[in-house]
């Protein structure tokens, strides 16, 4: 009987039992895709990661599954996996091979040497107009403060901008309509300057912290003049779910052109276990 060990981390937080949950199988050799998918469904988190030997010169290869399907890229699995691997490997940079390419994560340590913060260099997203009517209808809204656009960095996110954080908190989306959009997430944001509130909806409900959307949100705000290119923003998410999360994001570029995207945050390991499979 083979045993496969996993670690549970709460990501985009420094406080256990907040942030976004992630399971990381640290040695997934011997597991096929169907079994990985079954394990992701069994665990039930928004994503589960399976770590494999590198194939493209990175530190490790990772496969990411939500309970229904495999994903090319997702932000909180990348950051959480970097924290899980960074402690035993004692490396300052973890390069993770994803379906969207190699994503490097730079890790910072505190005075005691414990991991404290990570910054990932995300794939630069493509941008195109979204179906504004359908996106607004899914959120039961009439208008967006900024154009409604679709960002694709390996995950596909629609961004809708509201006039206040209270309006974001009050949202009650139609999940069947959200699913019909066929995107990774429908994101509603509000804020000003360096502080923003976000909620991300998908077919299964709401996500507590969406790293793959944080970079596009910074891009969206910079492209439309709400923040300066190169400026850091703090995004609060998961508040309405009772899983408060804090994400840091920055977009470099100018004249409408995105040149680089960085997303950062913390993570904390909260559990360890193993599955025994015949």
List the beta bridge partners of residue 265.
Answer: 118
Residue with tokens 């208008």: 143
Active-site residue, from 34, 42, 47, 240: 47
Q: Is the CB of residue 103 less than 8 Å from the CB of residue 120?
A: yes
Give dist(CA 116, CA 248) in Å, integer: 14
Find, among 47, 223, 198, the residue nearest to 124 by Cα: 223
Helix (H, G, I), strand (E, B) or coil at 172: coil
Alpha carbon distance 217, 245 (integer Å): 15
For the chain, how far is it from start to end, CA to CA, in angstroms?
5
Residue tagged 């988190």 (tokens): 45
Active-site residue, 47 included:
yes
Alpha helices in 119-207 (DSSP H): 132-138, 165-169, 175-180
Residue 197's φ and ψ, nearest 5 degrees, are: -110, 140
Q: Which helix (H) or strand (E) holds 117?
A: strand 115-122
Catalytic residue positions, numbered:
47
């Amino acid at each position: 009987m083979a045993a496969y060990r996993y670690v549970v981390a709460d990501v985009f937080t420094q406080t256990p039992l907040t942030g976004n949950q992630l399971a990381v199988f640290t040695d997934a050799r011997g597991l096929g895709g169907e079994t990985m998918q079954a394990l992701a469904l069994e665990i039930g988190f928004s994503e589960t990661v399976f770590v494999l030997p590198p194939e493209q010169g990175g530190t490790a290869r990772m496969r990411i599954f939500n309970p229904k399907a495999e994903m090319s890229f997702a932000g909180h699995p990348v950051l959480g996996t970097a924290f899980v691997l960074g402690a035993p490997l004692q490396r300052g940079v973890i390069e993770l091979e994803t379906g969207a390419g190699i994503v490097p994560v730079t890790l910072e340590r505190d005075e005691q040497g414990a991991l404290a913060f990570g910054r990932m260099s995300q794939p630069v997203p493509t941008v195109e107009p979204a179906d504004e009517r359908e996106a607004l209808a899914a959120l039961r809204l009439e208008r967006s403060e900024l154009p409604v656009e679709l960002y694709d960095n390996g995950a596909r996110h629609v961004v809708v901008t509201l006039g206040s954080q209270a309006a974001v908190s009050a949202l009650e989306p139609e999940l069947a309509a959200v699913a019909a959009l066929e995107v990774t997430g429908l994101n509603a944001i509000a804020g000003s300057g360096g502080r923003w509130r976000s909620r991300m909806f998908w077919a299964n409900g709401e996500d507590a912290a969406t790293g793959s959307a944080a970079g596009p949100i910074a891009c969206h705000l910079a492209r439309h003049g709400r923040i300066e290119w190169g400026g850091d923003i703090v995004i609060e998410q998961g508040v309405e779910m009772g899983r408060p999360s804090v994400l840091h994001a920055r977009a470099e570029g100018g004249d409408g052109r995105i040149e680089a995207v960085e997303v950062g945050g913390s993570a904390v390991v909260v559990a360890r276990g193993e599955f025994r499979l015949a």
